[in-house]
Amino acid sequence: MKVSLLDYGAGNVRSVRNAILAAGYTVDDISSPEEILNSECIIFPGVGSYGSAMTVLKERGYDEALRTYLKDCDRPFLGICLGMQTLFESSEEFLGHDGDATKKTIEGLGVIPGKVIRFDDDAVPAVPHIGWNGRIPHQSSPVLSTSEEKDEVYFVHSYYVPIIEENKDWILTSTTYGNQRYVSSVQKGCVVATQFHPEKSGTTGLNIFKNFLQAAEKGTLSNTSSLPIDPSSQTSLVKRVVVALDVRSNDQGDLVVTKGDQYDVRENERREGLSSGARGGVRNLGKPVSLAKRYYDEGADEIAFLNITSFRQGVIDDLPMLQVLEESSKSIFVPLTVGGGIRSYTDSEHGVTYSALEVASRYFRAGADKVRALYSF
């Protein structure tokens, strides 16, 4: 089965691509409305803002092609995060900050009844909702056949879809955050979508990809049935383990994981050939990719790379760090965070100025899920 990826150019979709590959399938990129109409199976990992996503879909003619593809719910489709939200009728998400902060309703694909709204600041601990939370099943589904309610998944979003009478038959799972209960995944027929990020939910998320793709290939994806729901059931955010790795170049130009006092990461022992009072080399605790993978295998829920010497050069040219992200995302399926170097700068050699947004975007496309100008623990 050919899996088609709808990547409209925003944020990190590398991990979704790698999750599909990890499930044993190859990926083709969609580049025209005709390819949507002719696809066997579509995965849409929406990233960014609702307004921007719908604008791009309309400009490229993807919106009408998607409506046609999804019309009868008989063709395999997996939407992720914003890829789920766009299936609904509209969103109140800001189109932009125009001074008076006027909310505007943005039209969606209209496949599922309902409107995407913002979390109420007074009803939840914080906005956005970031972290690992549970799911309450409303249907049995091949997609969830290997997961349990206690298997938390990773969420990051400020907007959600309320449960209403008109969309109840679509709900696959719901989740509670503070006093808000909302739709965390949907399924009708062969159309599946999640508010959470399975590509960042470890083994549980990888199983969701594998189950979806295998059921789509076998023709069993639509084998669902309703489950009894306890209206008092709740889910909650759980504590997780975040591993931070200080990364910098050693004297040979290789990136290594290191540690020191106040970023003094030189060995104290003198080496043969060093002058009196000279310091040793950069303390080397291991290679970033292999060490990060080890922590992931041992149960880390997030990996943070702190690029402690990134101020010395621009990220656009920081090929080793970008390669670390690209390689890590092939085998690590939890959030990857990068800290350090997120700033505007001018390339003195070519005279080109890059904004902080362009710098962050380069990290995202390499595999980062979060970027921070300064990251500390």
Q: 187-242 pLDDT, tens per residue?
A: 999 999 999 999 999 999 999 999 999 999 999 999 999 999 999 999 999 999 99
Tens of pLDDT, residue by residue over 231-286, are: 999 999 999 999 999 888 777 777 888 876 666 667 765 554 545 455 567 777 88
Domain assignment present for 305: yes
In this structure, the answer to whether residues 163 and 268 fall within a common structural domain is no
Is the domain of 218 the same as that of 72? Answer: yes
Yes or no: say if 358 and 347 are a contact pair by the CB < 8 Å rule: no
Residues 39 and 126 reside in one and the same domain: yes
232 falls within a domain: no
Does 30 reside within a domain?
yes
Of 51 and 223, the one with more pLDDT = 223
- What burial class does residue 242 get, using C-beta atoms within 10 Å of its C-beta: 0-12 exposed, 13-18 middle, 19+ buried? middle
112 vs 261 pLDDT, higher one? 112
Tell me which of 226, 261, 287 is where a domain ends. Answer: 226
The predicted structure's pLDDT at residue 376: 43
CATH number at residue 119: 3.40.50.880
What is the number of domains present in the chain? Answer: 2
Mean of the per-residue pLDDT values of the chain:
87
Domain final residue pick, 192, 226, 260: 226
Between 24 and 9, the more confident residue is 24
Please report how many Cα atoms fall inside a 13 Å half-sphere around the Cα of residue 340, on the Cβ side.
20
Question: Which range of residues forms the domain containing residue 254?
Answer: 242-372
Closest CA to 176 of 201, 195, 192: 195
Distance of CA 129 to the CA centre of its chain: 13
Q: Is residue 377 part of a domain?
A: no
| 323: in domain | yes
Whether 214 and 315 share a structural domain: no
Using 50, 70 and 90 to split pLDDT, how confident is the model at 375? very low
pLDDT at 298: 97
Q: 200 and 296 share a domain?
A: no
Residues 258 and 312 in one domain: yes
Q: Quick one: which of 184, 317, 304, 190 has its CA closest to 244?
A: 304
pLDDT by residue (tens digit) across 131-186? 999 999 999 999 999 877 679 999 999 999 999 999 999 999 999 999 999 999 99
Q: Does residue 356 form part of some domain?
A: yes
Tokens 């549980």, residue located:
204
**Residues with catalytic roles:** 81, 197, 199
More confident site: 340 or 297: 297
Q: Are residues 71 and 207 in the same domain?
A: yes
Q: 248 with 278, same domain?
A: yes
Reported as a single tens digit per residue, the pLDDT across 317-327 is: 566 888 999 99
The values of phi and psi at residue 80, to 5°, are: -125, 130
Shared domain for 169 and 37, answered yes or no, is yes
Model pTM score: 0.88
| Same domain, residue pair 246 and 222 | no
Indicate whether 182 and 218 sit together in one domain: yes
Answer with the one of 180, 201, 226 that is the final residue of a domain.
226
Q: What is the pLDDT of residue 315?
A: 56
Residue 140 lies in a domain: yes
Same structural domain for residues 189 and 334? no
- The reply to whether 231 falls in a domain is no
Sign of torsion, CA 222 225 231 233? negative
Domain CATH number, residue 344: 3.20.20.70
